[in-house]
Structure 1
Amino acid sequence: MTSERICVGAIAGAFGVQGEVRLKSFCAEPADIAGYGPLTTEDGRRSFTVRLTRPVTGGLGARLSGVATREDAEALKGVTLWARRAALPSLPDEEFYHADLIGLEVVDTGGQVLGRVRAIYDHGAGDILEVVGGSQILLLPFTRAVVPTVDLTARRIIADPPDSDE
């Protein structure tokens, strides 16, 4: 697929005075983040084992290997955490990692190119694909009705966008 590593979370800041961090998990089951082996920073320069300590407001409390003080934890605020793709579970049919969809070409049912997936948003009512083609930006609900086909092998999505006057 698109990457050997997948972003599974981010450090939201320090929690307490003993080097604990507030961890924001991007996993479907937030606690699963601790089970994906050592996590690395985006640049791969640092690696952490994660031990969850407790639920906290806006995420999970966690201990990261090599982080012993509040100052160490604060210095990591905003750092994203990445897992090896091989450590993540296989998904059932019709489910996709967001990282696999980013960059895919999007065509309409007649084969006209609409653009490429630039981002995926979830504001609580389901995923929305942001498709950019030239100066045009489309926001498509990621539903079977609007996106009937995702072909990861061909790196293409077939979409049937709603009419703009609806």
Structure 2
Amino acid sequence: MKVPEDLVLVGYISGAYGLNGWVRVRPYSADADALLTAKTWWLDKPEFHDVEMMQSKIHTGDVVAKLMGVAGRDAAEALKGATVQIPRSHFPALSDNEFYWVDLIGLEVENLQGEHLGQVSDMMDNGAHPILRVAVPQAAETTDPKAAPQELLIPFVEQFVITVDRTAKKITVDWGLDY
């Protein structure tokens, strides 16, 4: 099978589950719907290959799954540490104003005054809500500890995030340059 161009890293195999060849997957997102619905997974162990996901379910925060060709606990344990990727095109559809984090990374961020704040480099979750990690462009290298930050952490909540325009690749926030 040809390797899809839109693969997204969604988790890793943390070990075997039971005796019948099921694997335990630690998802990189609290919402594991993509792992549960995608019928083909791409693993990087023993070499990069696709595998059919036959059955899956949530179990204590992880996803446990039966993969085609994985028969028995030893075969499942041999996959421990393998990363799991699935095509972005196989993610479940979202409703309006819902976003997959992978779709936000790389978007430009500007504030209500039209000032460019930077580009989303990553997302993280602090337990209360997601946070945009925005890489701030630096005009010049400096050793001054009071210089502008190299990264902004902006809560991804309605109070601060005004619009997300994936077509224009831009997020507008109510956030100042000096916050």
Q: What is the aligned length?
A: 161
Cα distance in structure 1, aligned partners of 2:115 and 2:44: 35
Q: Following TM superposition, by how much is the alpha carbon of 1:7 offset from its aligned partner in structure 2, in angstroms?
A: 3.2
Query: Which structure 1 segments of 5+ residues have no match?
Result: none
1:127-142 equivalences in 2 (<5 Å): 127-133=130-136, 134=138, 136-142=150-156
Do structure 1's residue 62 and structure 2's residue 76 form an aligned pair?
A: no
Aligned residue among 46, 49, 64 for 1:46: 49
Q: Following TM superposition, by how much is the alpha carbon of 1:139 offset from its aligned partner in structure 2, in angstroms?
A: 0.9
Of 93-102 and 18-27, deviating more is: 18-27
Of 41-50 and 136-145, deviating more is: 41-50
Secondary structure class of the residue paired with 1:72:
helix
Aligned residue among 146, 161, 165 for 2:175: 161
Deviant stretches of 4+, over 6 Å: none
Query: Which structure 2 segments of 5+ residues have no match?
Result: 139-148
For the structure 1 residues 142 and 73, does the alpha-carbon distance in structure 2 shift closer, same or farther, using more than 3 Å as the test?
Answer: same
| Letter paired with 1:67 | V
For the structure 1 residues 57 and 145, does the alpha-carbon distance in structure 2 shift closer, same or farther, using more than 3 Å as the test?
Answer: closer
Residue 23 of structure 2 corresponds to 21
Aligned residue among 83, 94, 98 for 1:80: 83
Q: Following TM superposition, by how much is the alpha carbon of 1:42 offset from its aligned partner in structure 2, in angstroms?
A: 6.4
Cα distance in structure 2, aligned partners of 1:33 and 1:158: 30
Cα distance in structure 2, aligned partners of 1:149 and 1:52: 38
Give RMSD over aligned pairs.
Answer: 2.8
Q: Following TM superposition, by how much is the alpha carbon of 1:55 offset from its aligned partner in structure 2, in angstroms?
A: 4.9
TM-score under structure 2 length normalisation:
0.74
Q: Following TM superposition, by how much is the alpha carbon of 1:148 offset from its aligned partner in structure 2, in angstroms?
A: 0.3
Secondary structure class of the residue paired with 1:49:
strand
Secondary structure class of the residue paired with 1:148:
strand
